[in-house]
Amino acid sequence: MSMVYLTRKAEFSASHYYHNPKLSADENLRLFGKCNNPNGHGHNYTLEVTVKGEVNGKSGFVVDLRDVKNIMGREVLDALDHRFLNKEVPEFATAIPTTENLAIAIWQRLEPKMTAAQLHRVRVYETPDLFVDFYGEA
Amino acid sequence: MSMVYLTRKAEFSASHYYHNPKLSADENLRLFGKCNNPNGHGHNYTLEVTVKGEVNGKSGFVVDLRDVKNIMGREVLDALDHRFLNKEVPEFATAIPTTENLAIAIWQRLEPKMTAAQLHRVRVYETPDLFVDFYGEA
Amino acid sequence: MSMVYLTRKAEFSASHYYHNPKLSADENLRLFGKCNNPNGHGHNYTLEVTVKGEVNGKSGFVVDLRDVKNIMGREVLDALDHRFLNKEVPEFATAIPTTENLAIAIWQRLEPKMTAAQLHRVRVYETPDLFVDFYGEA
Amino acid sequence: MSMVYLTRKAEFSASHYYHNPKLSADENLRLFGKCNNPNGHGHNYTLEVTVKGEVNGKSGFVVDLRDVKNIMGREVLDALDHRFLNKEVPEFATAIPTTENLAIAIWQRLEPKMTAAQLHRVRVYETPDLFVDFYGEA
Amino acid sequence: MSMVYLTRKAEFSASHYYHNPKLSADENLRLFGKCNNPNGHGHNYTLEVTVKGEVNGKSGFVVDLRDVKNIMGREVLDALDHRFLNKEVPEFATAIPTTENLAIAIWQRLEPKMTAAQLHRVRVYETPDLFVDFYGEA
Amino acid sequence: MSMVYLTRKAEFSASHYYHNPKLSADENLRLFGKCNNPNGHGHNYTLEVTVKGEVNGKSGFVVDLRDVKNIMGREVLDALDHRFLNKEVPEFATAIPTTENLAIAIWQRLEPKMTAAQLHRVRVYETPDLFVDFYGEA
């Protein structure tokens, strides 16, 4: 028995802005700077999804990649790609669509659907120079 | 005398959508697909600006990089970074903010300001897999 | 009227080996070294296809990207991806599947199908450190 | 005493196909899709080898990089580069050469030879968008 | 409560050479090879700094990125960028400026200043093919 | 007959500083900023060498890659890698080792040795965000 970790990357494009309705306009601007512009601005996000499990002797796979691809497409990419996150994705009606909250939301979308192997990590790159990892830790 | 071409990269994040007001809703959807969503979606754009000129014997430079950086910042990045292109950038009040038109708009902003060396090419990556080059050719 | 160059990237995986049937085994080995192993070895190739044309005022596009994607998929990727080039691609029944000949074969497959805009360049990366450009020059 | 993790990358090109002789032709096709083509197809694999250990006060190194390079070359790259994995690498006479099994095979080749520092992780990229990590976990 | 890990990249250019004054010239050459050349040679280093903490409900951030950027700039980049490490950075008056020791020195510079979130990892790439991770482990 | 362009990449690490002995200390500092620090600072340079020629019918090659590799190694990498350019490379006893002059020097070293195919372009990246092209144009 050998435990391996398999990671698949995907990309999506979305726009967002940062605003907390419980704060004043001044506080929002101080906290979020130019990210507070309500018109929004966009990113090419890169998503890395890692699953963990034992290698199946029959296939040599930890998981069927077509399943991973389908789940990522249906649960995440269809919902987020070419969207304005604040306006079109339910989680961000209340939560601020930071990279941190995006990683958590993606985990919560994927975790119940990953049955063949266990979800281990969600990594989201907002730009090539900034990324967030979430392992499901409370 | 030696002619060299110097290229500097920069990145900016923006959102956009594609819509031609002279066409019907149906025609817009057929032409632009999911890029027609008026909420917009975003990208991390990568910009490459190439200038061409002779190497200066005193400095060994074709151009002072600090000047290139300042012009790119003032003329392009300040105007486009963290913006919704359709709503906040004058060129795209009428032109559709495709990668093609973005490359042309950036050329038009930079070309008159590049005096120490001649602007040779503007390259804009919308994603790592799609880019447009403009050389000022009519 | 503005002339732009648009480039789209794609990837495919294939295997090949180098062998010229008109040469002796010794000459083949001397010319091709470990690339002469008839079992073949593989690569993740990256393909860049560049088209050139004027920007359409109605769409802001030089060409409809979905058409470029379809032509590249049908004429090139379907034929080359997950193939042993020497055994499964007609051009390489006679020509040696070097990166040079691969770029030329891809040009010949694409050029007659590119009607909306003119094919300008085919670039093929065999590895990140080695690539060939073909512009259709005789 | 300070514990550090040092990672060295290398690349190799190989071809493979997926086939389980205990399954019928139909089952193989259903399980492996176009990867079941017996002619094989290829990849540029990227390998990352991570070792873990304390920094040596005399050299400032956790391990002599020339040793790591030699072991990786002799134990892994010489055996896998420019090979058809199913036909030319003993481990894959029986195991299916998936990225999972490749990471495990590379670990088993390296682990006994890494004496100056402890092998911590083997990562294998089949493509830039798919990779597997193995830490020697049963 | 959700624990996330946020990573920010930065780059700096520096030169160094490897020499242990307690060893003879011959021993230095044998140990360090061409890295022992006292004129020094240079690198574009890439630094990844990872912090760990809970997401703040008010901002959606684990930490204010402007603070991370300021601390990285003041404590690390100002001190190392465009420097000859052996001659201009105090830690390397005695320690050999290997990638290992550089990662440790950067950790020691950052750790006391990171108060909003906990420093988790420092990764230093000397080249794209070689990097070291330090987690503060003794 | 088909004309192709083949490009091979390589990397080298070197250090340099910018100083024109005909100028005062103040003028040097104003012109070159922190790059004027005489201790030097370093870079991982990436070099792309492009040759142009017709594809040989016997080999399918425009040029034997082993020859290109040998010439690049002997004429450029052996002379520049792990060197302090100002002190150890003859061209920079007088010329300032800017990226511009480095591209020209590399062209001059390679051009007379490239006999199987014609040197077309030398590209030098000082960092991933800055590069210079030289085509031998006066």
Each residue of D91-113: pLDDT tens digit?
999 999 999 999 999 999 999 99
Structure tokens at E93: 């008056």
Distance from C-alpha of C97 to C-alpha of F64, rounded to nearest angstrom: 15
Return the DSSP state at E129.
T
Asked if E44 contacts F43 with a C-beta cutoff of 8 angstroms, the reply is: yes
**Predicted confidence (pLDDT) at residue F138 exceeds the cutoff of 90:** no
Confidence at residue B138, expressed as pLDDT on a 0 to 100 scale: 87
Which tens digits make up the pLDDT trace of F32-50? 999 999 999 999 999 999 9
What type of residue is A49?
Answer: V
* Residue numbers of E between 82 and 111 with CB closer than 8 Å to F: 82-84, 87-88
Q: Which of D1, D3, D5 to mutate to test the interface with E (most CBs of E within 10 A)?
A: D5
**Predicted confidence (pLDDT) at residue C1 exceeds the cutoff of 90:** no
As to burial, measured by CB atoms within 10 angstroms (0-12 exposed, 13-18 middle, 19+ buried), residue E38 is exposed
Which tens digits make up the pLDDT trace of D27-56? 999 999 999 999 999 999 999 999 999 999
Q: B41 and A15: CB-CB below 8 Å?
A: yes
Secondary structure of residue D42 in the 3-state scheme: strand
Secondary structure of residue F93 in the 3-state scheme: helix
Confidence at residue D82, expressed as pLDDT on a 0 to 100 scale: 96
HSE-CB at B93 with a 13 A cutoff on CA atoms is 4
> Which residues, other chains included, contact B90 with Cβ-Cβ below 8 Å and sequence gap of 6+?
none
What type of residue is D109?
Answer: R
Q: What is the dihedral of CA C59, C62, C64, C67, to 10 degrees?
A: 160
Structure tokens at B49: 């600006």
How far is it between the farthest Cα atoms of chain A? 61
Option in B3, B60, B61 nearest F137 (CB): B3
Asked if C9 is an interface residue toward chain D (Cβ–Cβ < 8 A), one would say no
Average pLDDT, chain A: 96
Asked if B130 is an interface residue toward chain F (Cβ–Cβ < 8 A), one would say no
Which tens digits make up the pLDDT trace of B11-46? 999 999 999 999 999 999 999 999 999 999 999 999
Distance from C-alpha of C118 to C-alpha of D3, rounded to nearest angstrom: 58
Q: Which domains does chain F have, with CATH numbers?
A: 3-134 (3.30.479.10)
Number of H helices, E strands in chain F: 5, 5
Q: E62 and A104: CB-CB below 8 Å?
A: no
- Phi first, then psi, for residue C62 (nearest 5°) are -80, -30
Distance from C-alpha of D34 to C-alpha of D28, rounded to nearest angstrom: 10
Of the candidates D93, A7, D85, the one whose C-alpha atom is nearest the C-alpha of residue C42 is: D85
H helix intervals, chain C: 25-32, 65-72, 78-80, 85-88, 99-110
- Residues of E serving a catalytic function are 35, 82, 126
Residues B56-82, mean pLDDT to the nearest whole number: 96
Question: What pairing do the DSSP bridges indicate for beta strands F83-84 and F3-16?
Answer: parallel
What type of residue is D9?
Answer: K
Distance from C-alpha of D86 to C-alpha of D40, rounded to nearest angstrom: 9
For E87-99, give one letter per residue: b (16+ CB within 10 A) or e: ebbebbeebbbbb
Which tens digits make up the pLDDT trace of B74-129? 999 999 999 999 999 999 999 999 999 999 999 999 999 999 899 999 999 999 99
CA-based nearest distance B59→chain C, Å = 32
Of the candidates D101, D132, D137, D102, the one whose C-alpha atom is nearest the C-alpha of residue D119 is: D137
Q: A4 and D130: CB-CB below 8 Å?
A: no
For chain F, the first-to-last Cα distance in angstroms comes to: 29
Task: Provide the β-strand partners of residue D46.
Answer: D11, D125
Q: What is the dihedral of CA D72, D74, D80, D82, to 10 degrees?
A: 110
Confidence at residue B124, expressed as pLDDT on a 0 to 100 scale: 98
Structure tokens at D35: 């990867």
Which tens digits make up the pLDDT trace of D6-27? 999 999 999 999 999 999 999 9
- Phi first, then psi, for residue D93 (nearest 5°) are -65, -35
Q: What is the residue whose two structure tokens read 């296939």?
A: A59
Asked if C28 is an interface residue toward chain F (Cβ–Cβ < 8 A), one would say no
What subunits make at least 3 CB pairs under 8 angstroms with F? B, C, E
Q: What sign does the dihedral B100-B106-B108-B112 (CA atoms) show?
A: negative
Asked if A93 contacts A28 with a C-beta cutoff of 8 angstroms, the reply is: no
> Which residues, other chains included, contact D14 with Cβ-Cβ below 8 Å and sequence gap of 6+?
C41, C42, D42, D43, D45, D80, D81, D82, D83, D84, D85
D and F make contact (3+ CB pairs below 8 Å) = no
Confidence at residue A1, expressed as pLDDT on a 0 to 100 scale: 79
Average pLDDT, chain D: 96
Which tens digits make up the pLDDT trace of C7-39? 999 999 999 999 999 999 999 999 999 999 999
Structure tokens at E17: 């050479």
Q: Which of C36, C41, C86 to mutate to test the interface with D (most CBs of D within 10 A)?
A: C41
> Which residues, other chains included, contact F10 with Cβ-Cβ below 8 Å and sequence gap of 6+?
C129, F46, F47, F49, F72, F73, F76, F77
Q: D31 and A59: CB-CB below 8 Å?
A: yes
Return the DSSP state at D60.
S
Centroid of chain to Cα E60:
28
CB pairs under 8 A between A and E: 64
Q: What is the residue whose two structure tokens read 């594809």?
A: F55
Asked if F1 is an interface residue toward chain C (Cβ–Cβ < 8 A), one would say yes
- Phi first, then psi, for residue A115 (nearest 5°) are -110, -30
Q: D62 and E96: CB-CB below 8 Å?
A: no
How far is it between the farthest Cα atoms of chain E? 61
Q: Which long-range contacts (CB under 8 A, 24 or more apart) does F17-25 make?
A: F17/F41, F17/F86, F18/B60, F18/F96, F18/F97, F18/F98, F19/F86, F19/F96, F20/B58, F20/B59, F20/B60, F20/F96, F22/B58, F23/B58
Return the DSSP state at F20.
-
Confidence at residue D61, expressed as pLDDT on a 0 to 100 scale: 97
Residues of E in contact with F43 (CB under 8 A): 13, 42-44
Residues of C in contact with D87 (CB under 8 A): 39
**Predicted confidence (pLDDT) at residue D1 exceeds the cutoff of 90:** no
> Which residues, other chains included, contact D135 with Cβ-Cβ below 8 Å and sequence gap of 6+?
A3, A5, D120, D121
pLDDT tens track, chain E, 138 positions: 799 999 999 999 999 999 999 999 999 999 999 999 999 999 999 999 999 999 999 999 999 999 999 999 999 999 999 999 999 999 999 999 999 999 999 999 999 999 989 999 999 999 999 999 999 998
Q: What is the mean pLDDT of each run of 10 residues along chain A (138 residues)?
A: 96 97 96 95 97 96 96 97 97 96 98 95 98 96
C and A make contact (3+ CB pairs below 8 Å) = no
Asked if F39 is an interface residue toward chain E (Cβ–Cβ < 8 A), one would say yes
Residue D126 is among the residues annotated as catalytic for this protein: yes
CB pairs under 8 A between C and F: 64
Asked if F133 is an interface residue toward chain C (Cβ–Cβ < 8 A), one would say no
Q: D5 and E33: CB-CB below 8 Å?
A: no
What type of residue is D19?
Answer: H
Distance from C-alpha of A49 to C-alpha of A107, rounded to nearest angstrom: 9
Distance from C-alpha of C29 to C-alpha of C123, rounded to nearest angstrom: 28
Centroid of chain to Cα D18:
17
> Which residues, other chains included, contact A96 with Cβ-Cβ below 8 Å and sequence gap of 6+?
A18, A19, A20, E59, E60
Other beta carbons within 10 angstroms of residue B52's beta carbon come to: 18
Confidence of residue F1 (pLDDT cuts 50, 70, 90): confident
Asked if C59 is an interface residue toward chain B (Cβ–Cβ < 8 A), one would say yes
Confidence at residue F101, expressed as pLDDT on a 0 to 100 scale: 98
Asked if E9 contacts A129 with a C-beta cutoff of 8 angstroms, the reply is: yes
Return the DSSP state at D55.
P
Asked if A8 contacts A122 with a C-beta cutoff of 8 angstroms, the reply is: no
